[in-house]
């Protein structure tokens, strides 16, 4: 069977354009691939269009909108997930504009589909006391406890995303002063984050226990499971949930019931902000694309807002009773007014 133009361009988009020209990460490519797997399933189940017969001229703006609605209504996906799928489709059709401009008008109609507004969630983060309590929970006398303490400490200290922690290798840590760690973020962008002495000591102890300080171990995963395999996202989430529950059993007021790995990242950002660190530096540490993304923490920090208001506050309240209260004739008139 002769391949269709859709299969030709989608294959080139996923295997050549994204990893090559766009420099997309493996996770981004996997997410985009999943978008089109679901799209083909939708076309087969709902439109009776088999993948083998699908051509580019069959894909219209209306078809794409129906697919996005199907994602929300049938698959019960969130608005945020819908927007992720739309971003993948937009990226493909931007690529098509230059690679196959024959149907440019329809491609631009697809690109005109707007991202759906989502409800802004409040940022969940721990206080410093909450972080201290959480990091007290692992039993460092065991190998698993030592690994978990190192994992959680590093996640908090660097403000790293889960995938950035999973992808760490011993070679990415600098043990000479100034201590640093290299994180590979979204779009394979690397950034260097400083480490403090206490974190380095925890790291050294853990890596020595696991034999990770040898040169031969440089490219091993920094964090792995019992089978010596790199930890998965589910594995990291399991570790945090375990100690979150232990910490809540000790003090529920310091640890919220809903607390994810990303909340540790939020916690570090908020603590840097409260310590007076410039938003530009926080942006660089977190690996945000722009300072506008980082500004969300400034908008959230009620403590900083209160301190700013208190600093700018001028007492305008009267220090003594108004004169009219001492004027008996005026008071008598006001009391009888409009009776």
Q: Is 248 a catalytic residue?
A: no
Q: Is 205 a catalytic residue?
A: no
Q: Are 18 and 29 in contact, with CB atoms under 8 Å apart?
A: yes
pLDDT at position 258 is: 86
Q: Before 178, cis peptide (omega within 30)?
A: yes
CA distance 92 to 113: 13
pLDDT at position 175 is: 92
Angle at 58 between CA 53 and CA 62, to 5 degrees: 140
pLDDT at position 285 is: 83
- pTM for this structure? 0.67
Catalytic residue among 82, 244, 265, 266: 265
Q: Is 90 a catalytic residue?
A: no
pLDDT at position 181 is: 92
Q: Are 49 and 41 in contact, with CB atoms under 8 Å apart?
A: no
Q: Are 107 and 13 in contact, with CB atoms under 8 Å apart?
A: no
Q: Is 297 a catalytic residue?
A: yes
Tokens of 87: 């971003």
CA distance 148 to 162: 14
Catalytic residue among 161, 244, 271, 283: 161
Q: Is 265 a catalytic residue?
A: yes
Tally of CA atoms within 13 A in the half-sphere of 306 that contains its CB: 4
Beta bridge partner(s), residue 181: 173, 193
pLDDT at position 263 is: 87
CA distance 296 to 273: 11
Catalytic residue among 12, 109, 186, 248: 186
pLDDT at position 323 is: 52
CA distance 110 to 89: 8
pLDDT at position 236 is: 93
Domains of the chain from N-terminus onward: 5-111 (1.10.150), 128-308 (1.10.443.10)
pLDDT at position 336 is: 60
pLDDT in tens, the chain (339 residues): 678 899 999 999 999 999 988 888 888 899 999 999 999 999 999 999 998 899 999 999 999 999 999 999 999 998 989 999 999 999 999 999 999 888 899 999 999 999 988 776 667 888 899 999 999 999 999 999 999 999 999 999 998 999 999 999 999 999 998 999 999 888 778 899 999 999 999 999 999 999 999 989 889 999 998 888 999 999 999 999 999 999 999 999 999 888 888 888 888 888 888 888 888 888 888 888 776 666 766 666 555 555 554 555 554 445 555 554 555 565 665 666 555
Q: Is 186 a catalytic residue?
A: yes
């Amino acid at each position: 069977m002769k391949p269709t133009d859709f299969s030709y361009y989608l294959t080139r988009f996923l295997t050549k354009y994204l990893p090559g020209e766009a420099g997309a990460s493996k996770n981004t490519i996997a997410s985009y691939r999943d978008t089109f797997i679901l799209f083909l399933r939708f076309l087969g189940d709902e439109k009776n269009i088999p993948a083998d017969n699908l051509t580019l001229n069959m894909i219209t703006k209306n078809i794409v909108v129906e697919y996005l609605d199907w994602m929300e209504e049938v698959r019960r996906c969130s608005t945020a997930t819908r927007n992720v799928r739309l971003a993948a489709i937009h990226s493909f059709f931007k690529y098509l504009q230059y690679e196959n401009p024959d149907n440019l008008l329809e491609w631009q109609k697809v690109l005109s589909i707007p991202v759906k507004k989502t409800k802004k969630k409040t940022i969940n983060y721990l206080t410093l006391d909450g972080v201290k309590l959480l990091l007290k929970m692992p039993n460092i006398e065991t190998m698993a406890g030592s690994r978990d303490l190192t994992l959680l400490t590093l996640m908090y200290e660097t403000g790293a995303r889960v995938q950035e922690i999973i992808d760490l290798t011993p070679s990415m840590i600098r043990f000479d002063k100034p201590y640093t760690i290299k994180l590979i973020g979204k779009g394979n962008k690397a950034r260097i984050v400083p480490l403090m002495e206490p974190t380095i000591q925890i790291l050294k102890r853990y890596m020595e226990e696991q034999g990770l300080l040898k040169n031969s171990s440089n490219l091993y995963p920094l964090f792995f499971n019992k089978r010596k395999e790199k930890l998965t996202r589910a594995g990291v989430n399991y570790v945090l949930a375990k100690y979150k529950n232990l910490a809540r059993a000790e003090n529920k007021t310091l640890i919220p019931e809903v607390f994810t790995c990303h909340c540790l990242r939020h916690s570090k950002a908020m603590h840097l902000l409260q310590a007076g660190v410039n938003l530009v530096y926080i942006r660089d540490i977190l690996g945000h694309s722009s300072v506008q993304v980082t500004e969300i923490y400034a908008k959230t920090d009620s403590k900083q807002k209160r301190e700013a208001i208190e600093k700018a506050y001028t007492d305008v309240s009267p220090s003594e009773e108004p004169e009219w209260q001492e004027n008996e004739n005026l008071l008598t008139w006001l009391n009888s007014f409009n009776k």
